[in-house]
Structure 1
């Protein structure tokens, strides 16, 4: 067994074993075969006397203690016998998640392949040297199952993953257990990105599902990145759960996303399911999947925060939605009740490629902007959010990064330059100071800004549609869906 092997050595082993290929830049590329995204039906949580009354079983599938133990026995056998029987090395990384070590989770992560061990070193803090009461063991042995399988025992603090080479299952399973444990202390676990200004002030939270812009909008040159996907809001402030980024790469360009593009070129970065031509990544080619990814330490982003946490509370919460209908304004100001409602609704679109079988945007609702990773009832997380918004007087916004000028297939995706300008105006406080007006069709409050800030045909989406009656019909459909979903809460 190879224990805490460094990334450079793991890259050499991975390339030697033909798990991956070296690129001209020094980064490496690997492919995951059939499963190029998270497998949404693979996860099961053990239902036992400890979890029976705590887990939200309407949104989480159960597995019996007996079946979990049967699978665990297989995994332990493989861990101990793989070298002797299959001539395979097993890799162990002793890492921790949650950058603020006052709140960390220790994890011993065993993998069958060197590339996944390297991924673990990218995504979590390697070479663990901290003491923490909370510790999990994760076994990721893809060859043990023909079908994807992610099994979690909260009681035993063990996670089993098999049947898929997709690296994201590792990070999302750790996220899931943190989402269970953080609320025990009335802390809020969040599927979000976080950044601060150059002085370490003015923290902002970006909620959103994969593909809505969390990574892109939080990785900007004028601000310091705390993290791009998973965080906790404690009594002290905001902390990244991870040590790295797992960014979507489809249509990635040096001009529009220079920080992420640069990170993908550095030795130690792992590109996953990205097309390579003459040793150079072609991020525009979706031949393998729309869900191409890049894993790299957060330090690869110029100016990223070295600590990975900030002992300050957010000034702004930005909820990102990818509106596939093209009817929502680009920015909406929310009061605390509206913010909690939108948090529980989690309206967006499943963006092509983020889950197996999704090939075009589909309107969906995912409470807390991350229902698949939330083991507790959504209302529990919403209670904590409301308390924190009230206590720290946080400004809240809903920002649409989806379609404008028509729905998917007719309109076009919101320009990233328009969205970045909106985000900048949120950061500098000018949108909070602007007067608002109530949008006739959606009922949301919209900042009343000039044409040079947000063009009127985008600010008022009905003006961008060729047929106003079609807009009215589409917006009516969406509002009905929102109201029906809200009845659940």
Structure 2
């Protein structure tokens, strides 16, 4: 099928009598409950369960190998190629499947708060609660914008359609397939709503760099003086938590672009982890769970409908999706100036990286390319305990282009805007996972605030003897023994052994980068 044929098939689907377009939040909540897709909580949110797919399914994600993009994509285990024939056959099957449904739900909106580069999108959903999720997570159009809206990319989501790998050419019953030429994202076999969010992010990670704009997997906030801070990190490292600061205004919690004019949010909502959520530790997120919020895989009391955020019986990856205006301190529109501070967040399951360290330009590039963290339980299917992983640019699962493309753009912006960069470990201290403890959020907040406020720009530091990182010797509100990870371990020799082990993992991982300036590896990486 060519692009015109694909578009015509979609138009025929959208003419059906079963189509519900741009329903309001109350309408979608009613539909979700009446159809048995979700339940109402005591707070007025709805909660849905996603079955066995409680996180992303990266082995089931593909990009159609098309002439216009095949020489640009960084093909491999992350960006798996699939043929146009496989896509076409599945596309027809999915559309025929959806035509038979009593109701379908369509959302029209945007990705990108910058009007000059905004991407018009639409989402066709089998489930009403999925459509509500998209309504809350993407940028909602005004009446005037809706009247002239012409989607450039369309998500077609049919979680009830299960692929047959032997016949359909997939790896399992689930599939997430992107066709850049036909401008379709085809999703089936998985009820996990995050696949829709991350598919649009992947699209933007291809389109924005082509326009000279750096796309970033990060959260962002801004102070009263216009000082912007970025927080890079994978799911579970604290991006959403740390950027939701009552003293600063939130730009966005997960996905941003950085143009010549400054930073802008790609989304119109937040997708926060809720495991162990409490009003005391994370009041902004806790208070955002209200009428219109979508909870995923959160266990609720069957009678009182009270959520139990400590219950991980369905998954560790419990989530809340809500529009960004449910947070009190936000920037409207979600646009700000150039960052002064960048925070790289890592959840170190080995417990050997400092809780905070200042990075030189070379170290910043090294750690951005390395993207070290730990996969946390539930963020991907099959992950039940933390696993060390190197995720390039803190977002490898969502980057269609070679990592060096994003790294070069970031390096140029750090230089141009004289940005201070810090590495923050929100993982373990006093020992590795199972022995030590998770870093206290109150300590992390104190360190991050000190960095953002410029209090660490000229402080005394000492250099870590294994990783070469520069550790501040004193930060208000943080015990000095916490700042030095070696001092937090009772067994110092065990610390040295584990730290050297991780340092070697860094060095081995960095060998995969072929076109990186030699000084970044020599001056930015571990020194032993």
**TM-score if structure 1 supplies the norm length?**
0.96
The residue number in structure 1 matching 2:478 is 454
The residue number in structure 1 matching 2:6 is none
Task: Confirm whether residue 402 of structure 1 aligns to residue 427 of structure 2.
Answer: yes
The residue number in structure 2 matching 1:62 is 81
The residue number in structure 2 matching 1:37 is 55
Deviation at 1:102, TM superposition (A): 1.3
Give the number of aligned pairs.
480
Cα displacement string for residues 132-188 of structure 1 (whole angstroms, at most 9, x for unaligned residues) = 898101100111225221000011111000001100000000000100011101211
* Residues in 2 aligned to 1:350 and 1:50: alpha-carbon distance in whole angstroms: 34
* Residues in 2 aligned to 1:117 and 1:453: alpha-carbon distance in whole angstroms: 44
* Residues in 2 aligned to 1:444 and 1:127: alpha-carbon distance in whole angstroms: 46
Q: Secondary structure at the match of 2:284?
A: helix
Cα displacement string for residues 162-217 of structure 1 (whole angstroms, at most 9, x for unaligned residues) = 00110000000000010001110121111100000135x10000000000000000
* Residues in 2 aligned to 1:343 and 1:99: alpha-carbon distance in whole angstroms: 25
Match of 2:402 among 377, 384, 388: 377
Match of 2:159 among 120, 136, 142: 142
Match of 2:352 among 316, 324, 327: 327
- With over 3 angstroms needed to count, the CA separation of the structure-2 counterparts of 1:132 and 1:202, relative to structure 1, is farther
Q: Is the 8 A contact 1:271 1:295 kept in 2?
A: yes
Q: Secondary structure at the match of 1:242?
A: coil
* Residues in 2 aligned to 1:314 and 1:422: alpha-carbon distance in whole angstroms: 18
* Residues in 1 aligned to 2:484 and 2:474: alpha-carbon distance in whole angstroms: 11
Deviation at 1:101, TM superposition (A): 1.4
* Residues in 2 aligned to 1:362 and 1:106: alpha-carbon distance in whole angstroms: 37
Off by >6 Å, runs of 4+ in structure 1: 130-134
Q: Is the 8 A contact 2:473 2:480 kept in 1?
A: no
**TM-score if structure 2 supplies the norm length?**
0.89
Task: Confirm whether residue 239 of structure 1 aligns to residue 256 of structure 2.
Answer: no
> How well do the aligned residues superpose, as a CA RMSD in angstroms?
1.3
The residue number in structure 2 matching 1:46 is 64
Q: Is the 8 A contact 2:460 2:472 kept in 1?
A: yes
* Residues in 1 aligned to 2:398 and 2:139: alpha-carbon distance in whole angstroms: 21
* Residues in 2 aligned to 1:132 and 1:440: alpha-carbon distance in whole angstroms: 57
Q: Is the 8 A contact 2:215 2:257 kept in 1?
A: yes
Deviation at 1:9, TM superposition (A): 0.4
The residue number in structure 2 matching 1:187 is 213
Q: Secondary structure at the match of 1:69?
A: helix
Counting only pairs closer than 5 Å after superposition, residues 61-140 of structure 1 correspond to structure 2 as 61-79=80-98, 81-82=99-100, 86=101, 88-127=102-141, 129=145, 135-140=152-157
Deviation at 1:341, TM superposition (A): 1.0
- With over 3 angstroms needed to count, the CA separation of the structure-2 counterparts of 1:234 and 1:160, relative to structure 1, is same
* Residues in 1 aligned to 2:305 and 2:86: alpha-carbon distance in whole angstroms: 45
* Residues in 2 aligned to 1:134 and 1:111: alpha-carbon distance in whole angstroms: 15
Counting only pairs closer than 5 Å after superposition, residues 43-442 of structure 1 correspond to structure 2 as 43-58=61-76, 59-79=78-98, 81-82=99-100, 86=101, 88-127=102-141, 129=145, 135-146=152-163, 147-199=173-225, 201-264=226-289, 266-277=290-301, 278-310=304-336, 312-442=337-467
Listed as ranges, the gaps of 5+ residues in structure 2 are 1-18, 164-172, 514-528
* Residues in 2 aligned to 1:185 and 1:306: alpha-carbon distance in whole angstroms: 24
The residue number in structure 2 matching 1:5 is 23
Deviation at 1:305, TM superposition (A): 1.7
* Residues in 2 aligned to 1:127 and 1:181: alpha-carbon distance in whole angstroms: 21
The residue number in structure 1 matching 2:14 is none
Match of 1:16 among 31, 34, 46: 34
Q: Is the 8 A contact 2:108 2:149 kept in 1?
A: no
